[in-house]
C-alpha cells in the first residue's frame, strides 16, 4: 500500500464529506489520516490492499464496510454514535469504537473492501423530475423510460414518489416515499400531463431488490449521519418489492442498442442516467454519443427521442441537469443540482 496515496485519499474524502453534509464522516476520515500516519489499526487493515486508493474510493469502502457491521448489529458500541442506528453523531466518541471494529473484525471487513461503493440515491429524482416533465410537455407523448447504470432501479419509480420541492408539490401526497429538496429559481413544468408507457434499466452490476444482502450493501454506503437517506432508500425498496421495475445486468451500449431498436410510434423514448457518465471510458462515452446522434437524426414528432442527464460537471460539487429532445434542439441546460439531490436551482 502506498501510504502517501492512502493519506491523500482520506484527506480528499474528508473534504468531500464535509462539503456534502456529513460532519461525522469528515471527522472519521481526518482521524483515519492520523491513524495511518501512526501505523494504527486502520493502517494495519489496509496494508495488503492492492490498487489506487483514490480512484477506488477506498475510504468509502472502509466506511461502508464498517457501517455494514453496525447495521448488522455487530458493532453495538459504534451504533451508539451512528444516527442511522439511532446514535448521537458524536465523532469524538465514535472514533475509538470505530477503531475497535477495525481492529477486532478484520476478517469480516477485508472481503467487503473488494466492493466498489454502490449507491442508488432516490433523492436524485428531484432533479430528474423537472427534466422528465419538460420532455413530457415538449412531446405530449407517453414516456418510454430507459435508465442506464440504474443500480437497483429505484429511480425508475420516480413517478410513484411524492415531491415537496421548496414551494412546489408534485405527485401523490400519500405516496409511500416523499422526497423533499430545496428548490431555487423558476418553477419546472410541474403541471405538465405525464404518462409512462414503460420503464426498464440496466446496470453492469445491479443490486437486486429481492436480495436482503444486496439491499444491505446499498444501505451500508449511505453516510451514517444522514439517516433520512436510509429511510428514503428503505421506502423505495419496499415499493419496488411490490412492483419491481425491469432491471437487466448489461453494459449500457449493447443494452441500449437493443432497446432503442424497438418500434417507438407514439412514445417519447427517454434515455437517462445519474452519477454514471464519469464511470465510463472515453471510448464508451463516444460510442453512446454516436448511438444517440443516430437516433436523434431519425427522430420525428411521432417518434421523439430524449436524453436526460444528472451528472457532475468538472467540479465534483455540482450537478448539471441537462436535456436534449429530438427532433428539435440539441441541448438544454435546465438547472443545477446537488450530488445527493438536496438542492436544485432551476433556470
Ligand X SMILES: C[S@@+](CC[C@H](N)C(=O)[O-])C[C@H]1O[C@@H](n2cnc3c(N)ncnc32)[C@H](O)[C@@H]1O
Cα separation, 189 vs 62, whole angstroms: 41
Question: Is there binding between residue 247 and ligand X (CB under 6 A)?
Answer: no
Establish if 77 lies at the interface with ligand X (CB under 6 A). Answer: no
Residues in the chain: 347
Q: Which stretch binds ligand X (CB under 6 A): 65-73, 144-152, 178-186, 324-332?
A: 144-152
Which is nearer to ligand X, 139 or 155 (by Cβ)? 155
Stretch that binds ligand X, among 21-29, 79-87, 181-189, 279-287 (CB under 6 A): 279-287
Residue from the set 80, 115, 251, 345 that interacts with ligand X by CB under 6 A: 251
Of the candidates 51, 143, 33, 40, the one whose C-alpha atom is nearest the C-alpha of residue 100 is: 40
For 228, other C-beta atoms within 10 Å of its C-beta total: 13
Locus of grid cell 463516444: 286
As a whole number of Å, the CA-based R_g of the chain is: 21
87 or 337, CB closer to ligand X?
Answer: 337
Across-strand partners of 326? 305
Q: How far is the CB of 278 from ligand X (least distance, A)?
A: 9
Residue nearest to ligand X (CB): 149
Binding mask 29-68 vs ligand X (x if CB under 6 A, - otherwise)? ----------------------------------------
Least Å distance between CB 214 and ligand X? 11
Site for ligand X in 295-324 (CB under 6 A): none
Choose which of 149, 245, 335, 339 interacts with ligand X (CB under 6 A).
Answer: 149
178-207 residues in contact with ligand X (CB under 6 A) are 202-205
Q: For residue 23, give the C-alpha cell.
A: 460532519
Helix axes 23-37, 3-19, angle to 10 degrees: 170
> Residue for cell digits 481492529?
103
Question: Minimum distance between the CB of residue 254 and ligand X, rounded to whole angstroms?
Answer: 9
> Which grid cell is 167?
414551494
What CA–CA distance (Å, rounded) separates 99 from 86? 20
**Does residue 252 belong to the site contacting ligand X (CB under 6 A)?**
yes
Which of 158, 276, 292, 326 is close enough to bind ligand X by CB under 6 A?
276
> How far, in Å, CA of 180 to CA of 162, rounded?
9
**Cell representation of residue 290:** 454516436
Name the one range near ligand X by CB under 6 A: 38-46, 53-61, 131-139, 148-156: 148-156
Number of residues that bind ligand X (CB under 6 A): 22
The correct pick among 150, 188, 334, 344 for binding ligand X (CB under 6 A) is: 150
Subset of residues 106 to 135 that bind ligand X, contact rule: CB under 6 A = 118-121, 124
CA 201, CA 70: separation in Å to the nearest integer? 31
How far is Cα 79 from Cα 63, in angstroms, rounded to an integer?
A: 13
Give 90-131 as a DSSP string. -HHHHHHHHHHHHHH-HHHHHHHTTSPP----GGGHHHHHHH
User: What minimum distance in Å lies between the beta carbon of 276 and ligand X?
Assistant: 5
Residue number with CB closer to ligand X (186 or 238): 238
Instruction: Give me the DSSP letters along 225-239.
Output: T-HHHHHHHHHHHHH
Return the number of the residue (22 or 274) whose C-beta is nearest ligand X: 274
Nearer to ligand X, 203 or 219 (CB): 203
- In the bound state with ligand X, the residue whose beta carbon lies nearer, of 31 and 309, is 309
In the list 148, 165, 224, 325, the residue contacting ligand X (rule: CB under 6 A) is 148
By three-state DSSP, how is residue 257 classified?
A: helix
Write phi, then psi, for 333 (nearest 5 degrees). -100, 105
8 A C-beta contact, residue 183 and residue 313: no
- Residues in Cβ contact with 242 at an 8 Å cutoff, skipping those fewer than 6 apart: none
Residue ranges binding ligand X (CB under 6 A): 118-121, 124, 148-151, 155, 202-205, 251-252, 274-276, 279-280, 284
Amino acid at each position: 500500500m502506498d501510504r502517501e496515496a492512502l493519506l491523500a485519499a482520506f484527506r480528499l474524502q474528508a473534504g468531500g464529506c464535509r462539503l456534502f453534509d456529513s460532519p461525522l464522516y469528515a471527522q472519521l476520515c481526518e482521524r483515519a489520516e492520523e491513524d495511518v500516519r501512526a501505523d494504527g489499526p486502520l493502517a494495519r487493515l489496509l496494508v495488503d490492499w492492492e490498487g489506487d486508493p483514490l480512484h477506488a474510493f477506498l475510504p468509502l469502502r472502509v466506511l461502508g464496510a464498517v457501517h455494514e457491521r453496525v447495521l448488522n448489529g455487530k458493532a453495538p458500541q459504534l451504533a451508539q454514535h451512528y444516527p442511522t442506528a439511532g446514535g448521537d453523531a458524536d465523532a469524538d466518541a465514535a472514533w475509538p469504537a470505530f477503531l475497535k471494529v477495525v481492529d477486532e473484525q478484520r476478517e469480516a471487513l477485508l472481503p467487503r473492501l473488494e466492493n466498489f461503493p454502490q449507491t442508488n440515491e432516490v433523492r436524485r429524482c428531484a432533479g430528474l423530475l423537472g427534466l422528465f416533465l419538460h420532455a413530457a410537455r415538449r412531446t405530449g407523448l407517453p414516456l418510454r423510460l430507459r435508465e442506464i447504470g440504474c443500480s437497483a432501479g429505484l429511480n425508475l419509480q420516480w413517478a410513484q414518489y411524492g415531491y415537496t420541492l421548496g414551494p412546489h408539490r408534485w405527485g401523490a401526497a400519500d405516496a409511500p416515499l416523499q422526497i423533499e429538496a430545496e428548490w431555487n429559481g423558476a418553477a419546472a413544468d410541474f403541471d405538465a400531463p405525464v404518462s409512462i408507457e414503460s420503464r426498464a434499466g440496466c446496470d453492469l452490476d445491479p443490486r437486486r431488490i429481492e436480495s436482503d444482502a444486496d439491499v444491505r450493501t446499498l444501505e451500508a454506503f449511505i453516510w451514517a449521519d444522514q439517516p433520512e437517506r436510509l429511510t428514503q432508500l428503505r421506502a423505495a425498496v419496499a415499493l419496488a418489492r411490490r412492483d419491481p421495475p425491469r432491471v437487466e445486468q448489461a453494459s449500457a451500449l449493447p443494452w441500449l442498442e437493443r432497446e432503442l431498436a424497438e418500434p417507438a410510434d407514439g412514445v417519447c423514448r427517454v434515455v437517462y442516467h445519474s452519477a454514471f457518465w464519469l464511470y465510463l471510458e472515453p471510448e464508451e462515452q463516444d460510442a453512446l454519443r454516436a448511438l444517440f446522434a443516430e437516433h436523434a437524426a431519425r427522430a420525428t414528432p411521432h417518434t421523439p427521442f430524449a436524453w436526460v442527464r444528472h451528472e457532475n460537471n468538472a467540479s465534483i460539487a455540482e450537478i448539471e441537469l441537462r436535456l436534449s429532445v429530438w427532433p428539435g434542439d440539441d441541448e438544454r441546460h435546465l438547472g443545477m443540482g446537488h450530488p445527493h439531490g438536496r438542492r436544485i436551482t432551476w433556470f
